[in-house]
Amino acid sequence: MRTAFLVAPEGVEQVELTSPWHALAQTGETPRLVSTARTVQAFNHLDRADVFPADVTVDRASADDFDLLVLPGGVANPDTLRMDATAVAFVRAFFDAGKPVAAICHAPWTLIEADVVRGRTLTSWPSLRTDLRNAGATWVDQQVKICTAGPNTLVTSRKPGDLEAFDEAVLREVGAMA
């Protein structure tokens, strides 16, 4: 399973990047960090955390090269991604190809911009509820929501406190857990 983690150059919530990354890596997976820049400044909420090198920039990446897309949150991360047409097209390509996508916290903002939430049921950080409903989605307040109503499976979660359930759902999606 080839997994892409798409993040902006600044603002990704570090634990929402590293927790699912480590969960997938323990299965033998080698995730790839895809970004709009060559380096990524992660955050612990509002405080700067670690810097990560991107494996590939989104303008050189193709959804064809991956089997799964993970979108970590953080407020600034998806807000920046949704303003980048190449990043939005990369996300949309996973849906067009029927490939699974996982998004946590504020990451569904990028899904809204890609126009892929209509008719889907998902969860997110609570402040996105109205945005998701306005985009045609059904919002639920659950640790993790797996939606199969559409061309692909969509795994969503609300916040860092839900990472254990999110990671388990992602691992089940890739067949690493029963």
One of 22, 45, 106, 147 is an active-site residue; which one? 106
One of 22, 45, 105, 147 is an active-site residue; which one? 105
Pairing of strands 39-44, 47-53: antiparallel
Chain centroid, CA 104 distance in Å? 6
105 a catalytic residue:
yes
Provide the terminal-to-terminal Cα distance of the chain, rounded to the nearest Å.
Answer: 16
Q: What is the DSSP string of 106-152?
A: TTHHHHHHTT--TT-EE---GGGHHHHHHTTPEE---SEEEE-SSSS
Residue 135, both tokens: 């985009």
147 a catalytic residue:
no
Report H helices in 82-156.
85-96, 108-113, 129-134
Catalytic residues, by residue number, are 105-106
